[in-house]
Amino acid sequence: MGPTPTITIHVPGPLRTYCGGAAQFSISAHTVRAALEDLQRSQSALYRNVCDETGTVRRHLNVFVNSDNVRDLDGVDTTLRPGDVVTILPAVSGG
């Protein structure tokens, strides 16, 4: 396994209050799972909004790596490459 890639995490507006107002920040992680674990350590309040007590990404949140939902890739085991952008995106519905 090579050097840990540095990626950018985009935070949705409603959650920025839990990370000091930051819209995005950079972390180093090989996978989405590792990125979430990093969040758990470094941004615990934000993490609790993204994942439940079991560590599962909340049901109505989507995690994208660049333009792909991780549900269509390898889930939280999706591999990250340098420069990837991970976006946490709440589901939208209406009618």
Partner 1 sequence: MTDRVILTIGTKKGVFVAEAAKPRRSFALRGPFGPGVPVYSTLIDARGTPRIYASSCNPFFGMKVLRSTDMGKSFSETKSAPAFPKEDGRALANIWALEADSGKKELWCGVEPASLFRSHDGGDSWELVPGISNHDHARKWQPGNAAADASPFPGIHIPALKPERRLPQDIPHPQM
Q: Which of 78, 90, 95 is nearest to 36 (CA)?
A: 78
By the rule CB under 8 A, 10 interacts with partner 1:
no
Of 21-29, 31-39, 44-52, 71-79: span binding partner 1 (CB under 8 A):
44-52
Torsion angle of alpha carbons 53, 86, 38, 6, nearest 10°?
170
Shortest CB 60 distance to partner 1, Å: 5
- Whole-number CA gyration radius for the chain: 13
Window 11-30: contact mask with partner 1 (x via CB under 8 A) = ---xx---------------
Residue of the chain from 4, 25, 61, 85 that contacts partner 1 (CB under 8 A): 61
Q: What DSSP designation does 56 have? A: P
Tell me which residue has tokens 């799972």: 33
By the rule CB under 8 A, 49 interacts with partner 1:
yes
Shortest CB 77 distance to partner 1, Å: 19
- Enumerate residues 6+ apart whose C-beta is below 8 A from 87: 9, 10, 63, 64
Binding residues for partner 1, per CB under 8 A?
14-15, 48-50, 52-56, 58-61, 90-91
